[in-house]
Homo-oligomer: A and B are copies of this chain.
Amino acid sequence: MNILEIIAKKRDGQKLSEAEITFFINEYTKTQTVKDYQAAALLMAIYIHGLDDKETYYLTKAMLASGNTIDLSSIPGVKIDKHSTGGVGDKVSLILSPIMMSLGYKIAKLSGKGLGHTGGTIDKLESIGVQTSLTSSQYMKLLKKIGIFIVAQTEDIVPADKKLYALRNATSTVGSRPLIAASIVSKKLALKTDYVFLDVKVGDGGFCPTVADATALAEIMLKLFKAFNRKAIIHITDMTQPLGRAIGNAIEIKETIEFLNNENVSEELKEIIYCFASSILLTTKQAKAIKQAYKMIDDVLASKTALNNFYL
């Protein structure tokens, strides 16, 4: 097998086989016989011509196999992973996590840095000095003890994504749907939670300018989760405006704390938080109806349990 032939096939709009896609990922990320410029040419051809469902599945599989997976079976309770495709001012993960902890869930989240113009959860946490680079034994201890970890993607988890992510950022190939889907889903699969809750953002502030774009991305990802037998729920939410009041890593943390403390609460942000939290409660059968779910969320906010969890 030869990388020049693989590039040429996709350049000409042909489909790549599982063997070809696996070869590309292995040779680029493990043996490094495929060079950055060859990967860049292939990524651009993929950006323009796309990948079909099968090719996207092969890519996700090869990316997942490029590193280790994290077994959470020793941790009791319902383990959930909440992820957003990101957008300007998106601090939902930061607010939702302590709320869900208060409701008894275990939150496990591996997060990337911001892609393009969007800030990542990791950037926001690092802006206030939170240590986000932990070893697996460190974050497993955290999950057992306090019920949450949000850490930066480590070198051993989908290393292929880390490398591709950086290259896409430097070659204007970030916004390709199958590449976004494979990147997100491979990381979610590596961390063996019980449920994945995904938030796909629509609007100029994110990577899907229209509802149609977001729906198309969500459909690709749902197919992938199904193919890998993982339970996943995907929300599509508005990102035509920055979310909440604050944009900027540190001041978004401030808005998060204010929200949990019931100060200066943005109605739009509140609606999304309640929607997600209740969707998790209903999906995992911890609440029987929306009304009950809202009441449970109200309680953990009013009692400041969620706020206290943020400071843990």
- A residues with CB within 8 A of B: 4-5, 7-8, 11, 35-45, 47-49, 167, 170-173
Contact B41 A171 (CB under 8 A): yes
Measured CB to CB, the closest approach of chain B to A121, in angstroms, equals 24
Residues of B within 8 A of A36 (CB): 35-37, 40
With A4-B172, A172-B11, A173-B11 in contact, do A167 and B44 touch (Cβ < 8 Å)?
no
B11 touches A47 (CB 8 A): yes
Q: Tell whether, in the assembled complex, residue B45 and residue A170 are in contact, meaning their CB atoms are under 8 Å apart.
A: no
Could you list 16 A-B pairs, sorted by A, with CB under 8 Å?
A: A4-B170, A4-B172, A35-B36, A36-B36, A37-B37, A37-B170, A37-B171, A38-B171, A40-B41, A40-B44, A41-B41, A41-B43, A41-B171, A41-B173, A44-B48, A48-B48
Known: A36-B36, A37-B36, A37-B37. A11 touches B170 (CB 8 A): no
Task: Please tell me which one of the listed residues B4, B35, B41 contacts residue A44 in the complex, with CB atoms under 8 A apart.
Answer: B41
Give the complex CA separation of A173 and B10 in angstroms.
12
Please state the number of chain copies in the assembly.
Answer: 2
Residues of B within 8 A of A8 (CB): 172
Residue of B nearest to A38 (CB): B171
Contact B11 A48 (CB under 8 A): yes
**Further pairs besides A11-B173, A41-B43, A44-B48: 16, Cβ < 8 Å:** A5-B172, A35-B170, A37-B37, A37-B39, A37-B40, A37-B167, A37-B170, A37-B171, A38-B170, A38-B171, A40-B40, A40-B41, A40-B44, A40-B171, A41-B44, A42-B44
- A42, A45, A49: most-surrounded residue (chain B CB, <10 A): A45
> Which residues does chain B contribute within 8 Å of A35, judged by CB atoms?
36, 170
Centre residue among A39, A41, A45, A167 by max chain B CB count within 10 A: A41
When distances are taken between beta carbons in the complex, the residues of chain B under 8 Å from A47 are 11
A27 to chain B, nearest CB (A): 14
CA distance A162 to B170 in the complex (A): 23
Considering the complex, give the chain B residue whose CB is closest to the CB of A176: B11
A36 and B49 CA atoms in complex are apart in Å by: 22
**How distant is the Cα of A42 from the Cα of B48 in the complex, in angstroms?**
12
Give A37 to B5 CA distance when docked, in angstroms: 18
For A168, the closest partner residue in chain B by CB is B41
Q: Assess A45 versus B43: contact at CB under 8 Å? Given A37-B36, A171-B37.
A: no
Q: Once the chains are docked, how many angstroms separate the CA of A147 from the CA of B44? A: 47
**Shortest distance from the beta carbon of A184 to any chain B beta carbon, whole Å:** 21
Which chain B residue shows the least CB distance to A5?
A: B172
